[in-house]
Chains A and B, each alone.
Chain A
Amino acid sequence: MVRRGEKEGLVARERATNRRPGRLHRSWPGYVLVLPAMLALVGVIGYPLVRAFVMSLHKIILIRPQLGQPFVGFENYLTVLKSPYFSNAIWQTFVWTSVNLVGQLALGLLIALLLNSAFPGRGIARSVMLIPWVIPSVVAVLTWKWMYDGQFGVINSFLVRLGVIEKGVAWLGNTGTAMGAVLIESIWKGTPFVLIMLLAGLQAIPAELTDSASVDGANVWQRFRYVTLPFLKPTIVIAATLTTIYSYNNFNAIWLMTEGGPLRATETLTILTYKLAFRNFDMGSATAAGVLTFFVLLVFVVVFGRQYVKSQMEF
């Protein structure tokens, strides 16, 4: 990679023009470096995204092809916004995403700190922690669904044996417990990702800093609060942003366990969108719902992103 990079013309030109050392360099070579990735993103995701947006402005009922696909402006948006299912989905999405976020971050941080200290078998422990993330999600979800089963599920069998419950409960089948049950699976599956990010982030903390802090007599909490946390902040912000996005987009976990039920108790926006597209065959409304949630998430990302930029400045 290094050799190929040297061959690039931009490098040669840069050698001729920019010999002055400086912290941040002229910008144009930066654009050239960023460009290939941007092109890939715009081409592969940007274009379909624009097409999806255009679809949201048309009435597209797949099972009524005879109607054509007339332009209807923002009618689909109004339909979606007026639907009681949409407000329910917003609420479920909020619960789903925020519990996922808090759960995964807290667990990920705790485990990252544990696995960052040196002890025998640390490598094995780290590898084991990766397992939930690596298991193909369809199989992971089906396994959990089975473990939750009211009759054949190992979780119920364990809880009954412990005397916590008298007989098996259909955790996924009751409105009060379904969301919690799906959330546990999702936090279990998502935490390793946060963990890996934070583990990598912890490496960027200069060892002398923590060492000198402990020489100064700081206790564990103080060292965490005043040394580790500030250094980790950018990573935490990235992890939070990505966890928010991935939780929101998580389709398999909910769909395969509850299909959004019972009684829409686990119907997030992603599930609602899928149902609109593939069960009601209303692509216009489905894409409109997608665009609306795009903007909801955008607010989140901008808020988090500001934090990120700020934490970068503090650095």
Chain B
Amino acid sequence: MKKPTRLLFVAAAFLTLAVANAQTRVNVWIYESFAGNDSPISKAAADFMAQNPDVEINLIPTASTSSAYRDPFMVAAQGGGGPDVLMADIAWSPEFAAMGIVKDLSGHLAGKEDEFFPGPLDTLRYEGGIYGVPFYTNALGMFYNKTAFVEAGLPLPDADWTWADFRTAVDTLSNGEMYGFGLEGAWGGTFEWYPWFWQAGGQLLSDDGTTPTFNSEAGLEATRFFLDIVTNPRYVPEAAKTWKGWAELAAAFSNKVIAMYEVGDWGIAMVDGMNPPFEWGVAPLPSNGQRASLVGGANWVMNANTKVEDAAWRWLEYVTGPAVFPLMDGYNRVAARRGAAEAQEIVKADPRMQVLTASLEFAKARPTVPLWTTIDYDCLQPAFVRVILEGADVTSEMANAEMCALDVLR
């Protein structure tokens, strides 16, 4: 070997070694469904690492059910371990923040808050801090069987359709062969109920988050209207009592078992994949003077135990920055970053996505108190289920739920 070559070789070896040594490894949990060899997120990670040679992004795909994702993270973070950053459902954010197992990123986010949709950002606010960065978002809309509407002589739902229109449609479409409406009844239907509650002008909790306020005039009006439909065995199939996944609803819709259901953008690919033998469309949820929808989606959060905060933040900044638009196009999701509707190809190309994206404007998040999930599961859902299964009275059940929520919050 000639001397200069050898020198070069040694230098190169040193350089590689130096780079390898200086590299900061960031362990990143992502939902399993986002992973794959050529997945958009691994491409994004590669692009990021090309720009930041000192950081190594180690993507760890993890099954996204709560017992395989949320619980292990809680145990690990409480025990002093866990990944550095992770994607997390917006419903988990308040819990993580309250436990103190994720970092307050408001310092990093100073001056950047306007870059994100306010709804998703609100899910991260807890006692003055911001405990994560919004990643993607979605809102509920109404999927409807267009062919059935046309055959029944009903006007197609548009941006202005109302509760009364919805009720007429459900009644007309429930013809003995088909049910007008379907929902995830295993949860008592509270998930689908939130928008109706807000459309009626209801507020779930007082502004300070300490008092339940859902047992109001508006709350009763919405709950009566909603449960009146859900409890009618002609309108909603018996089987819906145990449905708690989107696959069952998509299948029921595609098999002409139900004519309408509430779902977000993730439902589009599911229904398309089942090749329904009819035309279908997406409408905003019917309004009642006011419009409302429910915000869903995922945030990025940073483990409070991380020792590589700087590198981890750079990754978060990158993956929620302008690079998020093409990234989310790859997953048929809408970024929680302002300008998504204009920047994302999937929105521009699909009118159904446009309807859902437009609903983001008036979509709200569930209260960001860490015990809201408990109130939902232990107070509201039992109340709804008692109405559905035992024909209990809405007024008294809402009062019970209020007492129960007071108890939880105390």
Q: Which residues from chain A sit less than 8 Å from chain B, CB to CB?
A: 62-65, 145, 148-153, 167-175, 255, 258-259, 261-264, 278-281
B238 lies within 8 A of A279 (CB) = no
B186 lies within 8 A of A278 (CB) = no
CA distance A88 to B186 in the complex (A): 20
Known: A63-B95, A151-B248, A278-B74. A263 touches B382 (CB 8 A): yes
Query: Closest approach, in angstroms, between the C-beta of A131 and any C-beta of chain B?
Result: 24
CA distance A113 to B243 in the complex (A): 40
Known: A150-B237, A278-B74, A279-B377. A170 touches B242 (CB 8 A): yes
Known: A173-B186, A281-B99. A150 touches B373 (CB 8 A): no
CA distance A151 to B243 in the complex (A): 10
> Across the interface, which residues of A come within 8 angstroms of B252, CB to CB?
151
A152 lies within 8 A of B242 (CB) = no
Counting from the closest, the 7 A-B pairs by CB-CB distance are: A150-B239, A173-B241, A151-B239, A63-B98, A173-B242, A170-B241, A63-B370
CA distance A174 to B240 in the complex (A): 11
CA distance A290 to B371 in the complex (A): 22
> Across the interface, which residues of B come within 8 angstroms of A168, CB to CB?
237-239
Query: Closest approach, in angstroms, between the C-beta of A207 and any C-beta of chain B?
Result: 49
**B385 close to chain A: CB less than 8 A:** yes
A150 lies within 8 A of B251 (CB) = no
**B374 close to chain A: CB less than 8 A:** yes
CA distance A153 to B239 in the complex (A): 9
CA distance A255 to B377 in the complex (A): 14
> Across the interface, which residues of B come within 8 angstroms of A263, CB to CB?
382, 385-386, 389
> Across the interface, which residues of A come within 8 angstroms of B378, CB to CB?
279
CA distance A172 to B378 in the complex (A): 19
Please provide the chain B residues from 210 to 242 with a CB less than 8 Å away from any CB of chain A in the complex.
237-242
CA distance A168 to B252 in the complex (A): 14
A-B contact pairs, 30 of them (CB 8 A): A62-B74, A63-B98, A63-B99, A63-B371, A65-B99, A148-B242, A149-B239, A150-B237, A150-B240, A150-B241, A151-B237, A151-B248, A152-B239, A152-B248, A152-B251, A167-B238, A168-B238, A169-B238, A170-B241, A173-B185, A173-B239, A173-B241, A173-B389, A255-B67, A261-B385, A262-B389, A279-B377, A280-B374, A281-B95, A281-B370
> Across the interface, which residues of A come within 8 angstroms of B373, CB to CB?
279
**B78 close to chain A: CB less than 8 A:** yes
B374 lies within 8 A of A62 (CB) = no
> Across the interface, which residues of A come within 8 angstroms of B374, CB to CB?
279-280
B78 lies within 8 A of A62 (CB) = yes
**B71 close to chain A: CB less than 8 A:** yes
**B257 close to chain A: CB less than 8 A:** yes
> Across the interface, which residues of B come within 8 angstroms of A150, CB to CB?
237-242
> Across the interface, which residues of A come within 8 angstroms of B100, CB to CB?
65
CA distance A72 to B197 in the complex (A): 41
> Across the interface, which residues of A come within 8 angstroms of B185, CB to CB?
173
Please provide the chain B residues from 362 to 382 with a CB less than 8 Å away from any CB of chain A in the complex.
370-371, 373-374, 377-378, 381-382
CA distance A92 to B240 in the complex (A): 25
Query: Closest approach, in angstroms, between the C-beta of A218 and any C-beta of chain B?
Result: 50
Interface centre among B99, B242, B371 (most CB of A within 10 A): B242
> Across the interface, which residues of A come within 8 angstroms of B95, CB to CB?
63, 281
Interface centre among B71, B100, B238 (most CB of A within 10 A): B238
Interface centre among B71, B186, B386 (most CB of A within 10 A): B186
Query: Closest approach, in angstroms, between the C-beta of B298 and any C-beta of chain A?
Result: 20
> Across the interface, which residues of B come within 8 angstroms of A171, CB to CB?
242
Partner of A261, one of B99, B186, B240: B186
CA distance A255 to B66 in the complex (A): 12
**Closest A residue by C-beta to B66:** A278
A149 lies within 8 A of B242 (CB) = yes
A145 lies within 8 A of B242 (CB) = yes
CA distance A279 to B91 in the complex (A): 12
CA distance A249 to B22 in the complex (A): 48
**Closest A residue by C-beta to B257:** A151
**Closest B residue by C-beta to A62:** B99
Query: Closest approach, in angstroms, between the C-beta of A270 and any C-beta of chain B?
Result: 14
> Across the interface, which residues of B come within 8 angstroms of A258, CB to CB?
186
Known: A261-B186, A262-B389, A280-B374. A172 touches B98 (CB 8 A): no
B99 lies within 8 A of A170 (CB) = no
CA distance A278 to B68 in the complex (A): 13
> Across the interface, which residues of A come within 8 angstroms of B370, CB to CB?
63, 281
Query: Closest approach, in angstroms, between the C-beta of B230 and any C-beta of chain A?
Result: 13
Fill in one digit per residue for B368-408: 1 if any A CB lies within 8 Å of its CB, else 0.
00110110011001100110010000000000000000000
> Across the interface, which residues of B come within 8 angstroms of A167, CB to CB?
238
Please provide the chain B residues from 184 to 200 with a CB less than 8 Å away from any CB of chain A in the complex.
185-186
Query: Closest approach, in angstroms, between the C-beta of B303 and any C-beta of chain A?
Result: 15
CA distance A65 to B385 in the complex (A): 33
> Across the interface, which residues of B come within 8 angstroms of A173, CB to CB?
185-186, 238-239, 241-242, 389
CA distance A148 to B243 in the complex (A): 11
Query: Closest approach, in angstroms, between the C-beta of B99 and any C-beta of chain A?
Result: 5
Supply 12 further A-B pairs (C-beta < 8 A) apart from A62-B74, A149-B239: A63-B95, A63-B98, A65-B98, A151-B252, A151-B257, A168-B238, A170-B241, A173-B185, A173-B389, A255-B67, A264-B382, A281-B95
Known: A62-B78, A65-B100, A151-B252. A170 touches B386 (CB 8 A): no
A172 lies within 8 A of B242 (CB) = yes
Query: Closest approach, in angstroms, between the C-beta of B236 and any C-beta of chain A?
Result: 11
Partner of A278, one of B71, B240, B241, B382: B71
Partner of A262, one of B71, B74, B385: B385
CA distance A254 to B52 in the complex (A): 48
Interface centre among A151, A152, A172, A279 (most CB of B within 10 A): A151
Fill in one digit per residue for B67-91: 1 if any A CB lies within 8 Å of its CB, else 0.
1000100100010000000000000
